[in-house]
A and B are shown apart, each in its own frame.
Chain A
Amino acid sequence: MCDPATIGLIVSAVGTGASAVSKNRMLKKQDQQAAAGIRKQSANQRESDRLVNQQIRDLDANTGASERAASLQDFQSAIRGNRSATEAGLDDPNAIGGDRFTARAGDASNRLKTAGQAMAERLSTIDGILRQRVNEGQDVGRLNVDLNQVRGNVAADDFLTKLRIAGERENPFVTGGAGLLQGFGSALSQRQPKVDPPTPQPIGRGN
Chain B
Amino acid sequence: MCGPSGNDRATQEAQQAEDARKRQVASATSAIDSAFGKRGSQLGDFAQALRGEFNTEALKQKAVADRQLKFALARGGLTKGSADVDANALLGEEFQKGLASGERGVQQALSDLAGADEASRQNLISLAQGGASVSSSAAAAANALRSNIQGARSSSVAEGLGDIFANTRNLYVKQQESAARRRGLEESEVFADPFSR
Question: A34 CA to B12 CA in the complex, in Å?
Answer: 11
Partner of A140, one of B120, B132, B133: B120
A119 adjacent to B13 (CB under 8 Å): no
Query: Is B179's CB within 8 Å of the partner chain A?
Result: no
A37, A42, A137: which has the most chain B beta carbons within 10 Å?
Answer: A137
> Chain B contact residues (Cβ within 8 angstroms of A): what range?
35 or more
A147 vs B21: C-alpha distance in the bound complex, in angstroms?
A: 16
In the assembled complex, which residues on chain B have CB atoms less than 8 Å from the CB atom of A123?
A: 49, 53
Contact of B45 among A48, A53, A125 (CB under 8 A): A125
Chain B residues with CB under 8 Å of A154's CB are: 132-133
Main secondary structure of the interface of B (DSSP, over half): helix
B87, CB-defined interface residue at 8 Å: no
Q: How far is the CB of A71 from chain B (nearest CB, A)?
A: 11
Number of A interface residues at 8 Å Cβ cutoff, please give it. 52
Answer whether residue A109 sits at the interface, using C-beta atoms and an 8 A cutoff. no
Q: Which parts of A114-135 form the interface with B (CB within 8 Å)?
A: 115, 118-119, 121-123, 125-127, 129-130, 133-134
B150 touches A134 (CB 8 A): yes
Contacts of B46 in A (CB 8 A): 125-126, 129
Cβ distance A202 to chain B, nearest Cβ, rounded Å: 64
With contacts A134-B147, A147-B132 known, is A59 near B9, CB below 8 A?
A: no
A143 within 8 A of B: yes
Using CB atoms, name the residue of chain B closest to A41. Answer: B17
Q: Does A179 contact B (CB under 8 A)?
A: no
Give 5 CB contacts A-B under 8 Å.
A39-B13, A52-B128, A137-B147, A147-B127, A150-B132
Closest 3 CB pairs of A and B: A34-B10, A125-B49, A60-B35
